[in-house]
C-alpha cells in the first residue's frame, strides 16, 4: 500500500495508473492505493496454452470483441466474486465506466453466439495494459478472454500485460513476478506509445495458429 484516500475522478485514476498505482478497496480502510513489489506481469510472448484449452479453442465456435459491452463485463466480474465479497463496488464500476468513455479503460468480450460467456477489463496506458478483473460463465472463457487480449495487444504494438499480483492461476498461464523498479521503468518507456486495440469481432480458433507454449 502506498496511500489512502483521494477520489476516483478520471484525472486521479489516470495519473495513478501512469505511475503504476491502482486502487483496491478494502473493508474499513479509506480507499487504499497499491503499487506491489514485486509486480505481477504476463509477457505477451509467454502465455501458456494447455492441451485442454487447445481442445476448447478447436471445438468451440466462440468469437471475441473489444469494447462491445464494457458494462456487462464489469458486472460479470463483480457477480463472479460476489459470494466472497467484491472490490468492484458501484462506485468503482462507475469510475471505470467513465474511464471507458474517455478511452482509457477497455473490455474484451467472449461470445457464444449472442451470449456473453466471459470477459476481461482493464486500463491501458500506452504499451502497458493493466488487467483489473475477468470472469467466465462457461469453463475456459476467462482464459480465452485473456489469451485473446494478449494477441490483440501484441498485434497492436503493446509491450506488457500487467496482472498486478501473480496468483497461482495466473502463474499457470505464464505470469511472473518482476521487481517494481523494472516494471515502472517499462511503464515509463512505453506509457505514451500509440497502441490501439482492434475491435473487430474475431473467431477464437485463430488463436491456435500462434505457436503459444503448450502444456499438459
φ, ψ dihedrals at 164, nearest 5°? 70, -65
Which CATH fold would you assign to the domain 38-215? Aminopeptidase (3.40.630)
Q: What is the pLDDT of residues 153-202, one digit of tens each?
A: 999 999 999 999 999 999 999 999 999 999 999 999 999 999 999 999 99
Its pTM stands at: 0.93
Q: What is the pLDDT of residues 77-88, one digit of tens each?
A: 999 754 445 789
Which residues are CB-contacts of 126 (< 8 A; sequence separation ≥ 6)?
190, 191, 192, 193, 194, 195
Cβ–Cβ contacts within 10 Å for residue 22, how many? 18
C-alpha of 87 from chain center: 15
Per-domain residue ranges for the chain? 38-215
Amino acid at each position: 500500500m502506498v496511500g489512502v484516500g483521494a477520489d476516483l475522478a478520471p484525472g486521479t485514476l489516470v495519473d495513478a495508473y501512469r505511475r503504476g498505482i491502482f486502487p483496491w478497496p478494502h473493508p474499513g480502510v479509506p480507499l487504499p492505493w497499491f503499487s506491489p513489489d514485486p509486480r505481477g506481469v504476463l509477457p505477451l510472448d509467454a502465455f501458456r496454452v494447455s492441451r485442454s484449452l487447445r481442445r476448447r479453442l478447436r471445438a468451440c465456435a466462440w468469437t471475441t470483441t473489444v469494447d462491445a459491452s464494457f458494462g456487462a463485463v464489469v458486472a460479470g466480474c463483480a457477480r463472479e466474486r460476489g459470494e466472497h465479497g467484491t472490490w468492484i463496488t458501484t462506485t468503482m464500476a462507475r469510475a471505470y465506466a467513465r474511464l471507458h468513455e474517455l478511452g482509457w479503460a477497455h473490455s474484451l468480450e467472449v461470445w457464444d453466439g449472442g451470449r456473453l460467456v466471459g470477459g476481461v477489463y482493464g486500463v491501458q496506458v500506452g504499451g502497458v495494459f493493466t488487467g483489473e478483473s475477468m470472469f467466465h460463465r462457461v469453463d475456459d472463457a476467462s482464459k480465452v478472454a485473456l489469451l485473446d487480449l494478449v494477441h490483440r495487444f501484441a498485434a497492436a504494438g503493446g509491450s506488457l500485460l500487467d496482472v498486478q499480483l501473480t496468483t497461482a492461476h495466473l502463474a499457470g498461464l505464464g505470469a511472473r513476478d518482476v521487481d517494481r523498479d523494472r516494471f515502472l521503468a517499462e511503464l515509463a518507456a512505453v506509457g505514451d506509445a500509440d497502441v490501439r486495440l482492434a475491435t473487430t469481432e474475431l473467431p477464437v480458433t485463430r488463436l491456435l495458429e500462434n505457436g503459444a507454449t503448450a502444456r499438459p
